[in-house]
Amino acid sequence: MTDLARFSINQMTVKQLTLPDLAAACRDLGVINVGLWREPVQEYGVAAAAKLVRDAGLTVTTLCRGGFLTATDPEARAAALADNRRAVDEAAALGTDTLVLVSGGLPPGERSLAAARERIADALAELAPYAGEHGVRLAIEPLHPMYAADRCVVSTLTQALDLAERFPAHQVGVTVDTYHVWWDDRAPAEIARAGAGGRIHTFQLADWTTPLPEGVLNGRGQLGDGSIDLREWQGHVEAAGYTGPIEVELFNEALWSRDGREVLAETAHRFVTHTAL
Amino acid sequence: MTDLARFSINQMTVKQLTLPDLAAACRDLGVINVGLWREPVQEYGVAAAAKLVRDAGLTVTTLCRGGFLTATDPEARAAALADNRRAVDEAAALGTDTLVLVSGGLPPGERSLAAARERIADALAELAPYAGEHGVRLAIEPLHPMYAADRCVVSTLTQALDLAERFPAHQVGVTVDTYHVWWDDRAPAEIARAGAGGRIHTFQLADWTTPLPEGVLNGRGQLGDGSIDLREWQGHVEAAGYTGPIEVELFNEALWSRDGREVLAETAHRFVTHTAL
């Protein structure tokens, strides 16, 4: 096993690279796993993207992302469900077994996070069997509480597992991303709970750097640049039985402004430096 | 009791006003409570400020803020303790029984939030008796998890109470601020816990608006402009037995750019509109 055997580069980290350039860069650097995003995959063509990564010998560790399931409006809800079924289809076509879900924020005028989470549960009741039939696991990703209003009403692993455990583990589990959970002193116990149930469907790394940028979306730190003890979190998921790929997903304007191959090489190097292999 | 009997204007909300202008504006609008900040009070002179607010018939509901107790360096720690003793003295001089504590972030190079919280406990062991002797209660304020690295390693009411409960309630309690706790589904139960122990030492309101500004410090929303059900949180603290003043503390560049009296009048109006009296 090489040092990069478990490393997966999430496409968003190097979004300046086209899919073919990403595949070529992975080959040159010995990277064998990628996490893909729906929008660039759709732009390239799902079937063409599937062939490209297959021909390059790449394993697709996750597809990001489904979700946005908090609508109160019936038409918006139906559209979201249809879009999530397409996301499942795309994941299956790409050969990945994991679709990451970002649950969605509060609809305009709504103030109840609890009610929004119940709407997600209702939506999952329709989507989970569909995903299971297609060999795709839904991985609910709790996002940092700073996104609770406008992006994701699921803010903790506790909440994510409370939702996931209403369904079989081969249908619904969770995404553990250090950026979103590092502040939470209950997260280690919840990782153990997730592992015991076979529900850690993906593990992602990003570091926490400050000051946060306006909108707080694109300030995820390169591994080692921030406040998170990444090895400690890797230890938590591994103690919980997780031995799968480790994705590095960085939304970072500074990284996006640089040469994509250089960023990929740096990220692979940081991965080796800041994880325990 | 007038609609504004429980309303307290935190000085930071209208920091464009000098202390005398704030006192005059309060008198004109029928505002009888203020929360003060150390820096402008020190600039005006502590004794002079105490006389000013006393002569204006104002009650000082809190002094903001002590804290920043996470240093590892012995000299920095001693300086922080000395500064917090001065803050207690200032609170006593101003006639308020409550000093709000913002605990501090991770020192450079440190990655353990748990260890930093233990250093806070150690510091409180020295400060709490001193505060108690001066008739001042320390009110640990959990800040939103987005500040965990650089400002406050105490991110939840659970953590704040775990610290506070090591000391008598008349020495150490908590600050409940809607801006910091609204995302937390455990907070209502923790408010009940705090109330049962007589540890809700102040209750503050701010609304949650997005997008967050760069640095995420100065985007606290005017009451009613955001995603928080303020009445629901007021209900939680009142069900827990809290009947004290309700402070409105907004850090908001847009509010600061306007006429201070106008902002104070608007804030008082929003308070009446968005709280249950």
Q: Grade residue B227 by pLDDT with cuts at 50, 70 and 90.
A: very high
The residue count of chain B comes to 277
Query: What confidence tens digit (pLDDT) does each residue in A128-173 have?
Result: 999 999 999 999 999 999 999 999 999 999 999 999 999 999 999 9
| Percent share of chain A, pLDDT over 90 | 98
Give the pLDDT score at A225.
Answer: 98
When pLDDT is averaged across residues B211-226 and rounded to a whole number, the result is 97
Tens place of pLDDT per residue across chain A (277 aa): 579 999 999 999 999 999 999 999 999 999 999 999 999 999 999 999 999 999 999 999 999 999 999 999 999 999 999 999 999 999 999 999 999 999 999 999 999 999 999 999 999 999 999 999 999 999 999 999 999 999 999 999 999 999 999 999 999 999 999 999 999 999 999 999 999 999 999 999 999 999 999 999 999 999 999 999 999 999 999 999 999 999 999 999 999 999 999 999 999 999 999 998 7
> Closest to B212 (Cβ–Cβ): which among A210, A215, A227?
A215
Q: Does B42 touch chain A (CB under 8 A)?
A: no
CB contact under 8 A, A183 and B229: no
- List the structure tokens of B147: 């500040």
Q: Does B109 touch chain A (CB under 8 A)?
A: no
CB distance A170 to B144 below 8 Å: no
CB contact under 8 A, A146 and B148: no
Give the pLDDT score at A81.
Answer: 98
> Closest to A216 (Cβ–Cβ): which among B216, B227, B229?
B216
Instruction: Give all domains of chain B, ordered by start, each with its CATH number.
Output: 7-274 (3.20.20.150)
Give the pLDDT score at A276.
Answer: 86
Give the pLDDT score at B276.
Answer: 86
CB contact under 8 A, A216 and B215: no
Give the pLDDT score at B277.
Answer: 72
Query: What confidence tens digit (pLDDT) does each residue in B93-127 have?
Result: 999 999 999 999 999 999 999 999 999 999 999 99
> Closest to A210 (Cβ–Cβ): which among B149, B227, B229?
B149
User: What is the spatial distance between Cα B271 and Cα B265, in angstroms, rounded to a whole number?
Assistant: 10
ipTM attached to this prediction: 0.95
Contacts of A183 in chain B (CB under 8 A): 113, 145, 148, 155
Residue of chain A with shortest Cα separation from B109 = A227
Q: Does B47 touch chain A (CB under 8 A)?
A: no
Q: Is the confidence at residue B205, as pLDDT, over 70?
A: yes
Query: What confidence tens digit (pLDDT) does each residue in B170-179 have?
Result: 999 999 999 9
CB contact under 8 A, B212 and A211: no
SS3 sequence, chain A? CCCCCCEEEEHHHHCCCCHHHHHHHHHHHCCCEEEEEHHHHHHHCHHHHHHHHHHCCCEEEEEEEEECCCCCCHHHHHHHHHHHHHHHHHHHHHCCCEEEEECECCCCCCCCHHHHHHHHHHHHHHHHHHHHHCCCEEEECCCCHHHCCCCECCCCHHHHHHHHCCCCCCCEEEEEEHHHHCCCCCHHHHHHHHHHCCCEEEEEECEECCCCCCCCCCEEECCCCCCCCHHHHHHHHHHCCCCCCEEECCCEHHHHCCCHHHHHHHHHHHHHHHCCC
> Closest to B227 (Cβ–Cβ): which among A111, A210, A213?
A111
Residue B214, C-beta contacts closer than 8 angstroms, at least 6 positions apart: A211, A212, A213, A214
Q: How far is B102 from chain A (nearest CA, A)?
A: 16
B 256-275: CB under 8 A from A: none
Give the pLDDT score at A277.
Answer: 72
CB contact under 8 A, B229 and A185: no
